[in-house]
Structure 1
Amino acid sequence: MTLARRRNEPELIVFDLDYTLWPFWVDTHVSPPFKSDGKGGAYDRNNYHIELYPDVRDLLNELAEKEIKLAAASRTEAPAAAHDLLKELNMDNYFHYKEIYPGSKTAHFKSKLPFRFRAMSGVRYIDMLFFDDEQRNITDISRLGVTCALVHTGLTRHAFHTAMDEFIRTRQT
């Protein structure tokens, strides 16, 4: 049974990758190539076992059930590695949009091509929710009118629901 997106929920939820969905920087802490472990994790070239933060997959599944559009935004210096890791972690299918390249996080949101989330999705900034572990990204993106959530220890169920409550609260005022 598919759960419908409620009227007051975001139309697009954007997630940073490093230290938001997984506990490392893909460009410095792990080494491609990656290989799925068949259980939702992966191994890197050095046999380091890679896992998402514990609540991430369940939250993404719930959002997929509600048919809320999801996006990945990363300013990594290793975009190919990030894309490969998403594939090996069986996460590609969650994200409708992916903006993974070096530079300012603001570039991922701008409405003019090649800065795509706004242009590709047609979703207004006020209808987006963004999660990141870096205050500078939160500051930059909030200036666009996007509701932003700073996650200090990765995405948790508590942090997610707190951000959703804030998103809904701002729509009711």
Structure 2
Amino acid sequence: MAAPKLIVFDLDFTLWDCGGTWCDCLTSPFRSSGGRVLDRRNQHVTFYPDVLSVLDFCDAQSMPIALASRTEQPAWARELLDLLAATHRFAFAEIYPSSKVKHFSALRDATGLEHESMLFFDDEMRNITEVSRLGVTSVLVEEGMSMELFRKGLSQHSGSSDASRAEG
């Protein structure tokens, strides 16, 4: 199988850490101060250390990237992406409370790409399981996105068979 045609990331505990909680458990308003993004209680929101390198790699390889997040506060997630100066990095963003199956159906419709050509990273096994059933190569992110895990996902996608798409 060829390289993925779309790389899809979850947000909470996959691309960013919101002080050990989900972004919808933060307290708005949010602000950028001294290069840091903080909520009203000074909870720090930051990308995991390798995330910008992963996004840079995708850009350099002309790999389109998307988001699929089930947050209860989509406006907050979008605001945090803006404050982290990352909104422009994602060609597609499905950010709303729903199942990841709905997110991936919307991504398929928006891109015209089949699920089998997508690679997905998420920290929740239930999402990995349901998205894998669609034919998406799915990788469990246990300690935040890293370049090593990203490369593993690329390798898994290029060598994946229909019988083994989920990685845990």
TM over 0.5, shorter chain: yes
Tell me which amino acid in the other structure corresponds to 2:148: H
> How many angstroms does 1:8 deviate by?
2.3
Find 2:82's aligned residue among 84, 87, 97: 87
| C-alpha RMSD of the superposition | 1.5
d(CA) in 2 for partners of 1:149 and 1:61? 20
TM-score normalised to structure 1 length: 0.86
More strand by share: 2
The range that moved more, 42-51 or 120-129, is: 42-51
d(CA) in 1 for partners of 2:125 and 2:31? 32
Residue 22 of structure 1 aligns with which residue? Answer: 16
d(CA) in 1 for partners of 2:121 and 2:52? 15
Residue 4 of structure 1 aligns with which residue? Answer: none
Residue 168 of structure 1 aligns with which residue? Answer: 158
TM-score normalised to structure 2 length: 0.89
Q: Structure 1 unaligned runs (5+)?
A: 1-6, 111-115
Confirm or deny that 1:135 pairs with 2:125: yes
> How many angstroms does 1:163 deviate by?
0.9
Distance change >3 Å, CA 37–CA 9, structure 1 → 2: farther
Residue 146 of structure 1 aligns with which residue? Answer: 136
> How many angstroms does 1:79 deviate by?
0.8
Find 1:109's aligned residue among 83, 92, 104: 104
d(CA) in 2 for partners of 1:126 and 1:83? 27
Residue 9 of structure 1 aligns with which residue? Answer: 3
d(CA) in 2 for partners of 1:47 and 1:104? 30
1:55-94 aligned within 5 A:
55-94=50-89
Residue 165 of structure 2 aligns with which residue? Answer: none
Tell me which amino acid in the other structure corresponds to 1:20: T
> How many angstroms does 1:134 deviate by?
0.4
Q: Structure 2 unaligned runs (5+)?
A: 162-168
d(CA) in 1 for partners of 2:79 and 2:38? 12
Confirm or deny that 1:122 pairs with 2:112: yes
Percent identity reads: 44
Residue 36 of structure 1 aligns with which residue? Answer: 32
Residue 166 of structure 2 aligns with which residue? Answer: none
State how many pairs are aligned.
Answer: 158
Residue 49 of structure 1 aligns with which residue? Answer: 44
> How many angstroms does 1:38 deviate by?
5.8
